Structure 1
Amino acid sequence: MKDTILDTLKTLNFNEYEAKAYLALLEESPLTGYKVAKISGVPRSKVYEVLDNLATRGDILVSPGEKPQYTPVPAKELIKNRRLKAEENFDQAEALFESYENSAHDRENIWNITGRTEIFDKVRTSIASTEKRILLEIWKEDYSELETELKRAAGRGISITIISYGDIQSDFANVYNYDMTLDITEEYGGRWLVFSRDDTEVVTGVVSLGTDSRAAWSMHLGLVMPITEFIIHDLYLREIMNKHRDVLEESFGENLLQLRRKFSLYPDFKKHYIK
């Protein structure tokens, strides 16, 4: 138990001697420096330096006198102070690094992301930094990965539009449900995700292959523009289908199947991107 506490204190920025001295004071206080050294095992030649460091950091309190006595800041208060300091450090780091978020380096590269978990982690990060609009194409089977972050973004006033493969219900997003999802999945051999935020950043790729899933992330104009416009044109098609389905399906078959087959490269009318 004692070793565990000492190890925990070390994760809170205590060195070994500081951890031993603080724990000794938790067990019994107030104590003189001599007593702290005797109980904790901190060398007498080091104990006053250690206690001074702890006092300067605010981890212990000192009662001055001919023989100063020491008492610890209560453990709950110590943890609270550490948490507040950590949050301050994170806030400061966030502010300092903000100017690098949209650097020219990012805008000129296309990055590969490998693994389903890693792809959704990147999309969640991008959702959190969205300022105006999110456009998303996603399968119903994958929607739960992002629902919480999307709802949180909507609460910030972000406009969210989703083209869903499968029936997705949402009270915070504009959702366009795509018909014949099983046929589409079979035709393409997998499920993809297409994400665009603020017309400045995109993540797009195949997410149904587990650790073998692949996606690209970029702020490169040459990728952001066509991918964002691809989603918008899919939205055009959804609007047109909603208003003129009968006429279009009379010309091109159910769910425009004849068009999909017309532009298929293979005689089985399937897309063979995934081998």
Structure 2
Amino acid sequence: MKKNEIVKAIENLGLSSYEAKAYFALLLESPLTGYKLSKVSSVPRSRIYETIEKLMAKGLVLSQEGDTTLLRPVSLESLLEKKEKESSQNIDFLKKVLPQLKKPAETQGIWTISGRDRIFETINHVISQAKSHIYLVSFDSDIIHFESALFEAEKRQVSVFGVSCGKGVLKLKNLHPHQGQPCSSCRDISLSIDSKQALVGSTFPADGARVAITKNLGIIHVAEDYIKHEIFLSQLFRTFDKVPVEELNKIYQKTLGNLP
């Protein structure tokens, strides 16, 4: 692991950038004077003594007085143990007070979520909350990011219905492969949870991935009807041999061409 990555990880424990650099430098070499620490840690001399004081206040650096003041760090193990304990205490506290907080009124607004990672994180979360049924149309290359959550939903007796686009093999029993008209390249996704929440949008391109999530009943109704329509078409196309399917595709393309 690179030095910068380690310093960043230490910083993520709640230290400032200068504090993390100084602490890491002391882990590598100690004891040091403040002057020497400034040089090896790349913390400016104008900020090093302020940084040392903050580290000492946090109990992360010890000093030894003499002709010159020497500094040494507490062990990284001690730091991690302290942070783990603090984090555990905070989590326990929040779990205790959370039920006491007044929840805001449900809103039927439409909220935008950007970025593929955040989108998949949200999808995994809403699927984990499903209690009755899930409707879905998505690309199999996207579904793999929340396929485990769908399997867990089925274990909870939640029914999963939908259509997957692409050539992947998915093992969800009621997720049908897309038939007929080839899937587009825009990577659209439509998802409905218990007829109470819908998520629609696109996961591609990566820097433009954006979906809308809502509890608006009108939009949920439209999203579910679209997904049911896709399921119906998938089943319908499977009943025809190759030639009629090609003819149906021509009619479909002609119909689309006549629309604005």
TM-score band (shorter)?
0.5 to 0.7
2:60 matched residue in structure 1:
59
Residue 195 of structure 1, CA deviation = 1.3
Residue 55 of structure 1, CA deviation = 4.6
Aligned to 1:269, which of 250, 255, 259?
Answer: 255
1:32 matched residue in structure 2:
none
Residue 97 of structure 1, CA deviation = 8.6
Identity between Structure 1 and Structure 2 (%): 15
Q: Residues 127 and 197 of structure 1 are in contact (CA less than 8 Å); yes or no, is this contact kept in structure 2?
A: no
Q: Residues 204 and 216 of structure 1 are in contact (CA less than 8 Å); yes or no, is this contact kept in structure 2?
A: yes
1:40 matched residue in structure 2:
37
- Write the mapping of 1:161-240 to structure 2, written as runs, cut at 5 A: 161-182=161-182, 185=183, 192-205=188-201, 215-232=211-228, 234-235=230-231
2:108 matched residue in structure 1:
108
Distance 1:201 1:223 in 2: 9
- TM-score, normalised by the number of residues in structure 1: 0.57
Structure 2 unpaired stretches of 5+:
39-43
For residue 269 of structure 1, give the secondary structure of its aligned residue in structure 2: helix
2:140 matched residue in structure 1:
143
Deviates more, 1:190-199 or 1:209-218: 209-218
The yes-or-no answer on 1:129 pairing with 2:126 is yes
Residue 79 of structure 1, CA deviation = 5.1
Residue 207 of structure 1, CA deviation = 5.6
Distance 1:233 1:191 in 2: 18
Distance 2:196 2:22 in 1: 52
Residue 137 of structure 1, CA deviation = 1.0
Amino acid at match of 1:217: I
Q: Which deviations, in whole Å up to 9, do the C-alpha atoms of 1:185-229 show, x marking residues without a partner?
A: 48xx96632111232222224566776777543221221133124
Structure 1 232/87 Cα, relative in aligned 2: closer, same or farther at 3 Å? farther
Structure 1 259/180 Cα, relative in aligned 2: closer, same or farther at 3 Å? closer
Q: Residues 141 and 168 of structure 2 are in contact (CA less than 8 Å); yes or no, is this contact kept in structure 1?
A: no
Residue 86 of structure 1, CA deviation = 6.2
Task: State which structure, 1 or 2, has the greater radius of gyration over its C-alpha atoms.
Answer: 1
Q: Residues 19 and 52 of structure 2 are in contact (CA less than 8 Å); yes or no, is this contact kept in structure 1?
A: no
Q: Residues 6 and 23 of structure 1 are in contact (CA less than 8 Å); yes or no, is this contact kept in structure 2?
A: no
Amino acid at match of 2:142: E
Structure 1 89/143 Cα, relative in aligned 2: closer, same or farther at 3 Å? farther
Amino acid at match of 2:74: V
1:75 matched residue in structure 2:
76
For residue 171 of structure 1, give the secondary structure of its aligned residue in structure 2: coil
- TM-score, normalised by the number of residues in structure 2: 0.59
1:27 matched residue in structure 2:
29
Distance 2:83 2:119 in 1: 29
For residue 227 of structure 2, give the secondary structure of its aligned residue in structure 1: helix
Structure 1 169/241 Cα, relative in aligned 2: closer, same or farther at 3 Å? same
Q: Residues 34 and 70 of structure 2 are in contact (CA less than 8 Å); yes or no, is this contact kept in structure 1?
A: no
Distance 2:222 2:147 in 1: 23
Q: Residues 136 and 163 of structure 1 are in contact (CA less than 8 Å); yes or no, is this contact kept in structure 2?
A: yes
Number of paired residues?
Answer: 239
Structure 1 unpaired stretches of 5+:
30-34
Residue 128 of structure 1, CA deviation = 2.3
